[in-house]
Structure 1
Amino acid sequence: MTIVDIAKEAGYSVSTVSRVLNGRRDVSEEARDRIMRIVEAYQFVPNNNAKHLKQTVSQSILILVKGTSNMLFTNIIEVIQDTIEGSDYSLRVHYLDEDADEVKEAVRMCREHKPMGILFLGGNIQYFHEEFELVNVPCVLVTDRADKLGFRNLASVSTDDMAAAEMAVDYLFDHGHRDVAVIGGDMALSSPSKYRKAGAKRSFIKHGCEFEEESYAVARFSYESAYNAMNRMLASKRSITAVFAMSDVMAVGAMRAIFDAGLRVPEDISVIGFDGTLLADYYNPKIVTVCQGYEKIARKSIDLLFGMIDLNKPATHELVPFSLKNTESVSSI
């Protein structure tokens, strides 16, 4: 009897069984009771020596992270680390530039390090079309959708970016704003940015406004890049009363540029972000943001990956609910 056998009989993921065996609290009472009944029935005792031996062979999970300034990814990695602590797996976190080809890097890492599975935090769908067939281990694309790619070893967990962005811009229009600017990623490099821009456009049309390309400023998902993008917007002398930033990090960069220009948030320009990170809660003013539920995204992602690795489950594609939180960085006009 192994931890994988217990997971199969209990009907839960290996990560859930691992959390129960390690006395973790982030498990439902129903799951804990069922798993412990099976453990007691078979008098299962974890073999720490065998566990250590397996870890020294190759029991690593690779996380490929695009960009180094994405606070959402930082939050997700922390939850993943906490979730697999005490399991048979170890983590290898590898950071890439925002513009890098993550699939090419995955192919190289599989060849050199032979991970059991891969979590992609951020991705460019075009790269998956081109080379993902060369990746032969279970994978999960996190915060982006892979349902239309059709790979049997690629699951995904994400938010409905288009609907979430539409809700964010709706919030600005509902507060009386008509001169709305958008700061977001490069469409050719960021699939979420493409969906979020489409959602923003949908909101503009719904409210009888034309979405002009001059309203969209391209930036990397970093403070500095968003700061520079907002400065370009302000220098254009366009009449802007509100900004939708496609991440909380971008929102902070934009707000700093607004403050440095002698303006106020939200009295002069309102700002809304995206991600729902702790950063939004502790900035002044608190940033209105689309909350993606990063804890649920992280746990669902690792459960899907463990299910594919340990239980040979098929790849599935999950959408995590979103919501708006905070009220301080948007005012009515």
Structure 2
Amino acid sequence: MKVTIRDVAQACRVGVTTVSRALNNQPGVSEATKARIQKKAGELGYRPNLSAQRLRMANSNVIAVIIKGPTNPFFTELLELIENRLRRDDYVVSIVRVLHDQDEVEAAAHAIAATKISGMILLGGWFAAGQEGWDKVTVPAVLCTMPSVIGVDRESYSSVAVDDEQAMNLIVDHLVELGHERIAFVGPEAGDESVGYIRLKHFISAMRARGFEPDPELILRGSNFDSPYSYEYGHLVTRSLIEERRDFTAVVGMTDATAVGAIRALADAGIRVPQDVAVTGFDGIDLTRYMSPRLTTITQPIEDIVEKTCESLIAQIDGGGHQHVILPGELRVAESTAGQ
């Protein structure tokens, strides 16, 4: 079995990036660590992937970041950390913003054709292009915040995402313990199979597992929005829910932005949070800690997501294999549900 750069990293108990630097005599690694890694690589029989090295030399040091849904504030926070992390390894970041109704895989293929790039990170999207479409992505690629590409061989890309199922179970447990049964869900537009749809499915499963059948009238899915992961979207679909006088005691936003929009709609209607209706979000963006009421939400491990995304991409560029990482979220209880 071929020894990979990841095997060397595990044996030396260091990161893949450190091994890559040591084996390529790059700065950022002490002489003692470099010698230890080189010795261990020799003992294990590691041989660098020469074709990958030639590819890296032929290409520039540019990493493309494709952002589907650029108005999502969580992506704004992620992007800053990604840029800072990649700059530590002397990469230049090229940002490609893709609107909600545009094809992110086509945008990725266009970026590859237009610019010499070493690799690619894809933020958001639902990647329904299939294997034929994905084959246009001819550079190392990592999905960040999405666990998979529909209908595509998982050995052709890497992914890093939060555990949406675990996170939705935390939210539903919290709300049920507070006595809520009539829970509305601010979900994506019909036909959207991105992360909001994944969270919706897990919300429904979590409710059913606890003996509650979600009311279809409380599953809110708008239509014809330029950005369904925005504050505006959460505000408008929640306002429609209120105007139709449906009975509910809690609202779960598929993202923090949609939850913030929901709180605004409730406040406009004279509905108090959390005294009349509890609200939860998902992401843990900075705004949620400073708004009033502070938002109960799932905080994503953003630093770990960024580190593992960049580490995985750099490993692929250096000839390593693909990996799929799922990280746990954490429920942060605040004033919007418990009045804390």
Amino acid at match of 1:212: D
Instruction: Please report how far the alpha carbon of residue 230 of structure 1 lies from its aligned counterpart in structure 2 after TM superposition.
Output: 0.5
CA 1:86 to 1:144, structure 2 compared with 1: closer, same or farther past 3 Å?
Answer: closer
Q: Shift of residue 281 of structure 1?
A: 1.1
Matched residues in 1 for 2:229 and 2:330: separation?
Answer: 21
Structure 2, unmatched stretches of 5+, are 38-55, 223-227
Residues 154-174 of structure 1 show CA distances to partners (whole Å, capped at 9, x for unaligned) of 100011212312321221111
Counterpart of 1:38 (choices 30, 33, 44) is: 33
Shift in CA distance, 130/251, structure 1 to aligned 2, threshold 3 Å: farther
Decide which of 302, 318, 321 is 2:325's aligned counterpart: 318
Aligned residue in 1 for 2:83 = 81
Contact in 2 for aligned 1:266/1:331 (Cα 8 Å):
yes
| Alpha-carbon offset, residue 41 of structure 1 | 8.4
User: 1:161 and 2:156 equivalent?
Assistant: no
**Aligned equivalent of 1:240:** 248
More off after superposition, 148-157 vs 253-262: 148-157
1:162, 1:197 within 8 Å by CA — same for their partners in 2? Answer: no
Deviation track 1:275-294 (CA, whole Å, cap 9, x = no partner) reads 11212111111100011211
Q: Which residue of 2 aligns with 1:174?
A: 177
Misfit runs of 4+, over 4 Å = 7-11, 15-18, 39-42, 54-57
1:263 to 260, 265, 271: 271
Name the residue aligned to 2:202: 199
TM-score (norm 1): 0.83
Counterpart AA for 2:282: F
1:328 paired residue number: 335
Structure 1 segment 114-193 matched on structure 2, within 5 A: 114-146=116-148, 149-186=152-189, 188-193=191-196
CA deviation profile, 1:183-224 (whole Å, cap 9, x unmatched):
011352233222211111122212322212211112500011
The verdict on how the C-alpha distance between 1:172 and 1:16 changes in structure 2, with shifts beyond 3 A counting, is: farther
CA drift at 1:238: 0.7
1:259 Cα deviation after fit: 0.7
Q: Distance in 2 between matches of 1:22 and 1:258?
A: 55
Give the aligned CA root-mean-square deviation in angstroms: 2.7
Select between 240-249 and 145-154 the one with higher mean Cα deviation. Answer: 145-154
Q: SS state of the match for residue 257, structure 2? A: helix
Count of residue correspondences: 304
Q: Is the Cα–Cα contact under 8 Å of residues 15 and 302 in structure 1 kept in the other structure? A: no
How far residue 268 of structure 1 moved from its aligned partner, in angstroms, is 1.2
Aligned AA for 1:222? Answer: S
Quick one: structure 1 residues 305 and 167, their matched pair in 2 at CA, closer, same or farther if it must change by over 3 Å?
same
| C-alpha distance in 2 between matches for 1:38 and 1:163 | 38
How far apart are the structure 2 equivalents of 1:237 and 1:102? 38
| TM-score (normalizing by structure 2) | 0.81
Structure 2 SS opposite 1:152: helix
CA distance in 2 between partners of 1:40 and 1:256 (Å): 59
